[in-house]
Amino acid sequence: MSYNRFFQGLSKKPKFKSIRDYSGWTYPGHSGWEALTEGKHGQVRLRDLGITIRMRGQAKQWGTPTTLTIIYKPYLNQWFASFTVNVVIQETLFASDSNLKYQSILAIDLGAETALTAYDGQEFLEIENQRFARHSQAKIKSASKQLRRKRCPNYKKKIKASKRWKKARKKVSRLQRKVTMQRKNWQHQVTTDISRRYDIVVTEKLETKKMTRKAKQGSKRKRQKAGLNKSILDVGFGTLNKMITYKVEAKGGLALFLPTKKIKPSQRCPHCGTLHKDWADLSNRYHVCNHCRFENGRDKSSVMVMYNVAIYQQPGLGIRLEIVDLISSTSKTRKHTGSMKQLGNMKRQKSQQNQKSSGNLETPTSQKLG
């Protein structure tokens, strides 16, 4: 087909494609492969290639495998297998029983200095930013400097990469991958502990992409903004929210996302609800209210406001979550794969049916919290 188009003058002469453009393939169905998951470790059998690959570890939740994607990362010289599985997920607490008493609820505030500041109505929990990228920054910088001294590839000028460049590139990739895996392992440990202990998690609706933009042209604080961006990305706000959401949903719980632009938890007093515009400055780390004389740390005050909003006890915002445009983990605004969208539609339909039968939609109140 390509040569026919070339002879007709419709395209250029076809060339051999690089493995960079074809780094793997996908089995769209059950044919061609088989997953053997009995025991602690499993195996993947690729029938078309006639090979069997051993899988390490065991999945927390496993169901009926539907698709398989084989991915090759040339700089790491490693192959990876990605499965999609149909898993039976429990109904949320809202949809399962309108009279259910919620045993535990946790509000989480994400930050750069302190990665997570949590509040459950009685005590605070603070988890420091581990700064994995900062700790490995010197090694990555040194390895990148050695990489720049080697002959790099230039495909336009038809210059191939030297063997030393490929070797140095793999070294940089391994260091960067180590940082990524350290951060991912820490995120899994934190979110797993939270999902096991709490039924409902209240967190912020953050736009990490906008928060980590470069400083405006002509700004005098470019270095400060770059350092803040590194700290935010080192925590991984978006990944933490996603992990908490699907882990809490897997046990039948619920994740609530509060819009910070409307609630303004960092500027609102959790005791009297007064807004203080001078609290918006990030340098102000300790808040003292001029009206009620309530005082507390910036992150702790913010997380108390979010907790009070979730249980309808925050002054200045009314008593209904609809007033502040609450977004739950089953709202339509979430963007997921098709299966998650279908799951969300099913949950909303059940919730609407319960609302029609009881006359109103039950949401967690201060009387129902254990």
* DSSP state string for 34-67: EEE--SSSEEEEETTTTEEEEEPS--SS--EEEE
216 and 315 inside one domain: yes
Whether residues 207 and 274 share a domain: the answer is yes
Q: Are residues 74 and 109 in the same domain?
A: no
pLDDT score of 238:
86
Last residue of a domain, one of 23, 58, 85: 85
Domain shared by 46 and 175, yes or no: no
How many structural domains comprise the chain?
2
Could you tell me if residue 338 is inside a domain? Answer: yes
Q: Where are the alpha helices (DSSP H) in the chain?
A: 2-7, 93-96, 132-135, 137-148, 163-197, 208-211, 222-235, 237-250, 260-263, 298-310, 338-358
Give the tens place of pLDDT for each residue, 252-267.
888 888 888 888 888 8
Query: Are 100 and 13 part of one and the same domain?
Result: no
What pLDDT was estimated at residue 184? 92
Alpha-carbon distance of 363 to 353, in angstroms, equals: 15
Domain shared by 276 and 321, yes or no:
yes
Q: Look at residue 364 and tell me if it is in a domain.
A: no
Asked whether residue 145 is domain-assigned, the answer is no
Q: Are residues 54 and 196 in the same domain?
A: no
Residue 158 maps to a domain:
no
- Looking at the domain assignment, is residue 350 inside a domain? yes
In a domain, 368, yes or no: no
Share of the chain above pLDDT 70, in %: 79
Specify whether 97 is located in the same domain as 55: no
Q: Residues 263-299: pLDDT tens digits?
A: 888 888 888 888 888 888 877 888 888 888 888 888 8
Domain contains 369: no
* Span of 10-14, 82-86, 114-118, 322-326 with lowest mean pLDDT: 322-326
- Segments forming the whole domain that contains residue 57: 2-85
Q: How far is CA 47 from CA 24, 52, 55, in A?
A: 16, 8, 16
The reply to whether the predicted model has a pTM over 0.85 is no
Tell me whether residue 366 is in a domain: no
188 and 96, same domain (yes or no): yes
pLDDT tops 70 at residue 370:
no
Whole-number Cα distances in Å, 152 to 17, 160, 219, 338: 19, 7, 34, 41
pLDDT band of residue 344 (cuts 50, 70, 90) is low
Query: Could you tell me if 94 and 23 lie in one domain?
Result: no
Domain ends where: 85, 119, 149?
85
Residues 94 and 30 in one domain: no
What is the enclosing helix (H) or strand (E) of 125? strand 124-128
Band (pLDDT 50/70/90 cuts) for residue 349 is: low
> Are 66 and 131 within one domain?
no
Region 43-56 average pLDDT: 86
Confidence band for 367, pLDDT divided at 50, 70 and 90: very low
End-of-domain residue from the set 18, 51, 85: 85
Could you tell me the maximum CA-CA distance found in the chain, to the nearest angstrom?
Answer: 83
